[in-house]
Structure 1
C-alpha cells in the first residue's frame, strides 16, 4: 500500500518526495563534479536533466505507439499507463541519440555526458533506495551500498571528468552489481532464466567492454 506524506490538506505520495530529493542530490553531485573543471557547467547539467525529461516523455507517450487502440479509446489512460519495457528501451535509445547530438553540437566528449549522467544516477540512487517499497531489504541495501561506493570512487579516481579508462571500469562494476542485485528484486524472467534488468545490464556490459577495448572511442 502506497504511503502518503500529509502537509495540512495536501497529501503527497512519499515516493515522489524521495524522487524529488533524489533529483536535488543529482544536481548537487554534478555541480560538485564540475567545480574544478573548465567545462560549461550550466550547459552540461541542463543537458543531463533534459535527457531524463525526454526519456520520461518518450516512455510515457510510447503507450500510444504500442497500444494505439487503447490509447485512442481511452485517452486519459496515457496519464496512468506507459510503454512498459518496450517504451523503456525506446526511451534509452532516444536519450542516447540526444546526448550524442549534444556532444557533436557543442564539440564535447560524449564521455563527459556519460560521466555526469552516471554521477547523477548514483547520487539519486542513494536517496531513492532509502525509501522501502515492496522489494527486499537486501535489494535496497545493496543499491545504496553500491551507489555510495562507486560515487566516492568516481570523485577520487576519475579525473578529469569523462576520463574513459577508469570511468568505464566503474560502469562495468555498477552493471555487474546490478546484474547480481536483480536476483533480490521481484522482476520475473523474460529471457531464459534472466530478468529484464539482467538482460539490459548485460547489454550495457558488452557495449562498455567494446568501447573499452577500442581505447575509448566514445571520446569526441
Structure 2
C-alpha cells in the first residue's frame, strides 16, 4: 500500500491521519467520561483540557529533538517537523504533562486522580488508532485482540464508581501496563529478559504497592 496520499501540493503520510483521528477521539471520550463520572461543575471543558495535554506533550516531544541535535536549531530549524526527540522526548513530554497537570490542580482545582484518568483514556484511545494503522498492511490477530482489549478497558473506565480516587486510577494504570507488556511480548517487540520488560514489570509492581498503601489509608480514615 502507498503510505502517502497527495492533496494538492501536500503529501500526507496516511498513518498520521490515524494519529490525528486518535487525538480527536480522545477529546470526545474525555467529554463523555467526565460527564459520566464527575458529579460537580467541571472548571474547564474536558475536551479543551485534553487538547491542552496533547499540545503540551507534542510541543515538548518535538522540541526535544534540538537537545540531541542543537546545531539544527540554527542551521535547520524545520527539521523538527520531520523528526522528534525519541525516548528522551517522550520522557520530557511526560514531565511536561506532569507539570501542566499540577498547574491545573493549583489554578482550577482539577484533582490529580481525575487528570490521571483523562490521561489514561487518551493513552488507550491513541493506542487503538496507532495499532489500527497496522491493518493498512494486512490483518494481524494479535493486533486485533490488542485493539479490542483497549476498547474494553475504555468501556471499563466508564464503569468506575464515583468518586474517582487515586486507588481506582492506579488499578486502571496497572491493567494498562500488564496489557501493553503482554502484547509487546506476543508480538516479539520485547523479550522476556530485556531491560524494557523489567522496567514495565517494575512499574506494575509499584502501582500494586501504591494501591495497597492507598487502600490501607482509606481503611484507616474510615476506622477513625
TM-score, normalized by length of structure 1?
A: 0.79
User: Aligned partners of 1:176 and 1:106: how far apart in 2?
Assistant: 33
1:140 counterpart residue number: 143
Mapping for residues 125-136 of structure 1, pairs under 5 Å: 125-132=127-134
TM-score, normalized by length of structure 2?
A: 0.78
2:16 counterpart residue number: 16
Q: Against the structure 1 CA distance between its residues 81 and 123, is the aligned structure 2 distance closer, same or farther, given a 3 Å change threshold?
A: closer
Residue 201 (structure 1) aligned with residue 216 (structure 2): no
1:30 counterpart residue number: 30
Report deviation, 1:140.
Answer: 2.2
User: Aligned partners of 1:18 and 1:199: how far apart in 2?
Assistant: 30
SS in 1 for 2:64: helix
Does the 8 A contact of 1:30 with 1:119 survive in 2? yes
Note the residue ranges of structure 2 that are not aligned, 5 or more in a row. Answer: 218-224
2:42 counterpart residue number: 40
SS in 2 for 1:129: helix
SS in 1 for 2:12: strand
Does the 8 A contact of 1:55 with 1:91 survive in 2? yes
Does the 8 A contact of 1:63 with 1:71 survive in 2? no
Aligned length: 213
Could you tell which deviates more after superposition, 137-146 or 20-29? 137-146
Could you tell which deviates more after superposition, 126-135 or 81-90? 126-135
Deviations 1:125-149 (A, max 9, x none): 3333222167982452243022112
Q: Against the structure 1 CA distance between its residues 77 and 173, is the aligned structure 2 distance closer, same or farther, given a 3 Å change threshold?
A: same
Could you tell which deviates more after superposition, 143-152 or 41-50? 41-50
User: Aligned partners of 1:173 and 1:54: how far apart in 2?
Assistant: 26
Deviations 1:187-209 (A, max 9, x none): 578xx6233xx466345424423
Does the 8 A contact of 1:31 with 1:41 survive in 2? no
SS in 2 for 1:214: helix
Note the residue ranges of structure 1 that are not aligned, 5 or more in a row. Answer: none
Report deviation, 1:93.
Answer: 1.4
Mapping for residues 163-178 of structure 1, pairs under 5 Å: 163-178=165-180
SS in 2 for 1:160: coil
Does the 8 A contact of 1:62 with 1:82 survive in 2? yes
Report deviation, 1:180.
Answer: 1.6
2:213 counterpart residue number: 214
SS in 2 for 1:141: helix
RMSD: 3.1
1:109 to 99, 108, 111: 111
SS in 2 for 1:12: strand
